[in-house]
Amino acid sequence: MAGKVDVTFTKWVTNTETFPWKMAGVVGGDAGAGSFAGAVLSHDTIAKGTVDVIHAHYHINGASQQLTADLLVVQSNQTNTAVSNGVVIDGWLEGAQVRGEYAVLAVCPIATPNNALGTMCFQGTLHITPGPAA
């Protein structure tokens, strides 16, 4: 496949008691409609609480494609936005570079069963460039 692939997601955290924290959600875009599962492997708050640095695995289970991405996420708690960079480590487009972004929503526009953060969710897009990660 040539060019960029976009996968949209809405995710929420379902467990924050012990690492890895668990995430659930839904996906769409080029992978097809489906489910999101994820794990926060580490989480550090820096810059006097204004930035969260997160290492996570995103499992995209779309109707037409499935993949797992290993991501470093930098979330601004001032703008309620985040950027992510990483690589596909399993499945469709394995080895491809991943860049993404999301918005932190205080009140999610969809139902979020077992949401450990109340009504908060995260909506965004992963942009995947086929070929080896740079």
In the prediction, which pLDDT does 130 show? 86
Q: Which of 58, 82, 54 is nearest to 68 (CA)?
A: 58
DSSP assignment string, 47-111:
TTTTEEEEEEEEEEEESS-EEEEEEEEEEETTTTEEEEEEEEEEETTTT-EEEEEEEEESS-SS-
Is the residue at 134 inside a domain?
no
In the prediction, which pLDDT does 134 show? 45
- Kindly report the CATH number assigned to the domain that includes residue 107: 2.40.160
Is the residue at 47 inside a domain?
yes
Looking at the structure of the chain, the number of domains it has is 1
Within the chain, which residues score under 70 in pLDDT? 1-2, 132-134
In the prediction, which pLDDT does 132 show? 61
Are residues 55 and 41 in contact, defined by beta-carbon separation less than 8 angstroms?
Answer: yes
In the prediction, which pLDDT does 72 show? 98
Is the residue at 68 inside a domain?
yes
Is the residue at 32 inside a domain?
yes
In the prediction, which pLDDT does 131 show? 73
Range of the domain at 24: 5-129
Is the residue at 119 inside a domain?
yes
pTM of the model: 0.94
Are residues 27 and 33 in contact, defined by beta-carbon separation less than 8 angstroms?
Answer: yes
